């Protein structure tokens, strides 16, 4: 039994004294103890070494005592497992030297055996569970198929993902084949994560907002729906589409346990668009953590009042930034723990 099950109770929609809190990207780059590890090991070594990944996962929990941990990993371990080369270049970000641009490029892309290609993730989960000692739940995650496709086709990060969109719009048959392969791999991957011990999973559609509402249904949402359908009876699923407020109505009917909301959508609109019956997660602007700690606390309490304390998980509207002062991150977490409903 998990001692602090506030996060899991919120996912079930139960009444709670206060909402749970965690932060996207909480395991990582804003923490000095993480930076010490970063100096010694390159990015994918950190992901692929269970001892390192589990240590990085629990670092923020030791420091701040969040209500859930999220496994340190990366969404791009999926294309790596699918026989697509991915590098992480310092001061540049992800780089894929052989992007998928044609139907022929797809021939070498496989749906892998998860345990032989990504077994290190399962080992990291087991080690992390030991370190957490059932104090709090552990979240596993994956990128949405569309978001993974963006990197696989573009070959790197982008403000527009123009090449990825061109591929989808000029060669939709190949695009859907790639999306399906990513979906099948992701489902198998998340199922193994649940077997290894994660208590919930989150699907990050970081680039969903690049698409129009019509294209979102075709190239992103239908694949996320497959993932939710395959996982929802095994573990709670959180779906988070950045910039995808227009899809919240469909997302609310998907069978997901919770929906992530970014900071461009107000609590009122998010509750309205989702029908008010599903747990929501978010949506503090990560840049707002640069505000003075006393302001952060006030804004967090206001945010909770606007969402309501039940069916709500306090989080950021995207990942925490590397330049956030430690005391500001603490103010965010403490504000939730100190919250008392009026």
| Contact between 140 and 194 (Cβ < 8 Å) | yes
Token pair recorded at residue 321: 């930034």
Question: Which residues line the annotated binding site for substrate?
Answer: 25-29, 44, 74, 151, 206, 318
What are the tokens at 324?
A: 């956030």
- For residue 142, list its beta bridge partners: 203
**C-alpha span between 137 and 338 (Å, rounded):** 21
Give dist(CA 189, CA 315) in Å, integer.
25
Distance of CA 280 to the CA centre of its chain: 14
DSSP code, position 31: -
The structure tokens listed for 131 are 């370190």
* Count of beta carbons in the 10 Å neighbourhood of residue 325: 13
Instruction: Using alpha carbons, list the distances in angstroms from residue 270 to 122, 160, 247.
Output: 34, 25, 10
Known binding residues: 25-29, 44, 74, 151, 206, 318
């Amino acid at each position: 039994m998990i001692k602090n099950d506030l996060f899991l109770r919120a996912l079930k929609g139960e009444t709670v004294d206060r909402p749970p809190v965690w932060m996207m990207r909480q395991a990582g780059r804003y923490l000095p103890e993480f930076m010490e590890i970063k100096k010694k090991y390159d990015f994918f070594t950190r992901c692929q070494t269970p001892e390192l990944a589990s240590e990085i996962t629990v670092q923020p929990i030791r420091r701040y005592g969040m209500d859930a941990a999220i496994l340190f990993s990366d969404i791009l371990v999926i294309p790596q497992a699918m026989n697509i080369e991915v590098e992480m270049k310092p001061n540049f970000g992800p780089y894929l030297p052989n992007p998928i641009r044609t139907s022929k490029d797809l021939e070498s892309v496989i749906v892998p055996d998860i345990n032989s290609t990504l077994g290190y993730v399962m080992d990291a989960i087991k080690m992390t569970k030991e370190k957490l000692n059932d104090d709090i739940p552990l979240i596993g995650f994956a990128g949405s198929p569309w978001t993974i496709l963006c990197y696989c086709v573009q070959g790197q990060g982008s403000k527009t993902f123009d090449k990825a969109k061109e591929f989808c719009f000029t060669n939709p048959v190949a695009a859907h084949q790639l999306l399906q392969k990513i979906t099948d791999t992701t489902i198998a991957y998340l199922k193994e994560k649940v077997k290894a011990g994660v208590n919930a999973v989150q699907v990050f559609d970081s680039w969903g907002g690049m698409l129009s509402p019509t294209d979102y249904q075709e190239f992103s949402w239908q694949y996320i729906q497959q993932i939710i359908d395959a996982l929802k009876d095994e573990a709670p699923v959180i779906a988070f589409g950045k910039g995808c407020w227009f899809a919240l109505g469909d997302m609310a009917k998907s069978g997901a346990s919770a929906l992530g909301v970014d900071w461009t959508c107000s609590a009122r609109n998010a509750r309205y668009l989702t029908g008010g019956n599903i747990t929501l997660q978010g949506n503090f602007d990560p840049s707002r953590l640069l505000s003075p700690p006393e302001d952060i606390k006030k804004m967090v309490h206001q945010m909770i009042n606007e969402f309501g304390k039940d069916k709500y998980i306090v989080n950021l509207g995207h990942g925490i930034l590397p330049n956030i002062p430690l005391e500001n991150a603490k103010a965010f977490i403490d504000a939730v723990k100190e919250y008392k409903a009026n």
